[in-house]
C-alpha cells in the first residue's frame, strides 16, 4: 500500500486551529476516543459545513429512540459498504463492533450487505437502507411494505432513510477527499 497518504486531498485542520465552538465541541470526542477522527480535520476546512454536518449527525445517531444505536451504525456500515467508502466503513465499523458487541459483524455487513446473515429485524433495516442507497429512484411502496411487515414503525423507517441519506453525503465527501481512516480505528472492537 502506498505509504504516507495525506489525511485528505484538500488538506486538514488541527483541533487547535478550529473556531472555538468547534474546538469545544470536538475536544471531548478526541479525549474520549483517544484521537480526533480525520473526518473532522478534513471538514474543518469549512467550519460552517462541519457544524451543519455535526448537527445532522448528532440528530440522527445519538438516540436510542426506536432504532438502537447499534442498529443506526448498522445502517451506516451497510450504506458505506455498498458505496465502497473505506473511511466510513473503517470508522463506523469500529463503532458497530463496539455497539453490537460483535467483532465480526462489520466486516460482513460492509462487504456483503445484501447477503450477510442477520437477524430478521436487522435484515429488514439493512434491506431498507440498501433500497435507497444506490438507486434511490427505484425506492417505492414495496420497500415500505416489507419494512412495515418486519415491524418497523414509521419513525424507524424515517431514521433508516435519513441515516442512509446522510451517509450518501458523507461517503461522497470521503471519496472526494480520499479521506484516510485514523490508524486506531482498524483494530477497535476486534
* Cell digits of residue 69: 444505536
Please report how close the Cβ of residue 190 comes to a copy of itself at its closest, in angstroms: 5
Nearest to 15 by CA among 31, 6, 176, 5: 31
Task: For residue 139, state whether it binds a copy of itself (rule: CB under 8 A).
Answer: yes
By rule CB under 8 A, what count of residues binds a copy of itself? 70
Pick from 144, 148, 150, 189 the residue near a copy of itself by CB under 8 A: 144
Task: For residue 51, state whether it binds a copy of itself (rule: CB under 8 A).
Answer: yes
CB atoms under 10 Å from CB of 32, counted, come to 7
- Residue pair 70/99 in contact by the 8 Å Cβ criterion: yes
Residue bearing cell 455498498: 82
Pick from 68, 175, 184, 189 the residue near a copy of itself by CB under 8 A: 175
Candidate ranges 12-20, 22-30, 33-41, 138-146; the one touching a copy of itself (CB under 8 A)? 138-146
Pick from 67, 76, 166, 179 the residue near a copy of itself by CB under 8 A: 166
Task: For residue 21, state whether it binds a copy of itself (rule: CB under 8 A).
Answer: no
Nearest to 177 by CA among 40, 34, 25, 22: 40
Amino acid at each position: 500500500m502506498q505509504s504516507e497518504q495525506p489525511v485528505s486531498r484538500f488538506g486538514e485542520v488541527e483541533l487547535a486551529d478550529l473556531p472555538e465552538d468547534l474546538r469545544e465541541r470536538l475536544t471531548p470526542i478526541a479525549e474520549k476516543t483517544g484521537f480526533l477522527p480525520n473526518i473532522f480535520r478534513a471538514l474543518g476546512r469549512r467550519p460552517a459545513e462541519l457544524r451543519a454536518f455535526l448537527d445532522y449527525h448528532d440528530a440522527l445517531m445519538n438516540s436510542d429512540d426506536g432504532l438502537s444505536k447499534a442498529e443506526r451504525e448498522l445502517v451506516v456500515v451497510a450504506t458505506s459498504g455498498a458505496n465502497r467508502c473505506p473511511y466510513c466503513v473503517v470508522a463506523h465499523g469500529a463503532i458497530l463492533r463496539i455497539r453490537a458487541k460483535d467483532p465480526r459483524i462489520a466486516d460482513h455487513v460492509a462487504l456483503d450487505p445484501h447477503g450477510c446473515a442477520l437477524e430478521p429485524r436487522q435484515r429488514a433495516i439493512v434491506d431498507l437502507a440498501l433500497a435507497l442507497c444506490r438507486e434511490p429512484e427505484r425506492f417505492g411502496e414495496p420497500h415500505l411494505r416489507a419494512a412495515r411487515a418486519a415491524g418497523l414503525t414509521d419513525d424507524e423507517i424515517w431514521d433508516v432513510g435519513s441515516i442512509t441519506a446522510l451517509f450518501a453525503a458523507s461517503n461522497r465527501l470521503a471519496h472526494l477527499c480520499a479521506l484516510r481512516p485514523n490508524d486506531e480505528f482498524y483494530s477497535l472492537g476486534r
